[in-house]
Amino acid sequence: MINSRKLPKKSDFPHGAEFVIKEFDVPLVQIPGEGWFNWFGGAPRPYDANSLRVDNNWPATSFEEWVGIVAASMAVESGS
């Protein structure tokens, strides 16, 4: 997995990674054997999935949708 502040590519993730959106603006990914990561701001951080409920998250419809949420969060982090 990459650790820099640039948009990730799908090839950066192993097969079986699940891309999830929490509360409309938090990009999460679950990587088999590694756990959950929050990509808000463009850099992965470990995420405690205990806060996930049936009604506050959903699978991204595509990787492109998920990476769009990452891009928007990078703009928020940089103040753009």
The mean pLDDT value for 36-55 works out to 96
Exposure string over 8-23, b if 16+ CB within 10 A, otherwise e: beeeebeeebebbbbe
Q: What mean pLDDT value characterizes the chain? A: 92
The mean pLDDT value for 7-29 works out to 97
Residue count of the chain = 80
Whether pLDDT at 77 is above 80 = no
Check the CA dihedral 59-34-27-8 and report its sign.
Answer: negative
Distance CA 42, CA 40 (A): 6
**The pair of three-digit structure tokens given for residue 32, joined into one six-digit string:** 């088999």
* Percent with pLDDT over 90 in the chain: 85
Does the predicted TM-score (pTM) go above 0.85?
yes
Q: Band of the pLDDT at 2, cuts 50, 70, 90?
A: very low
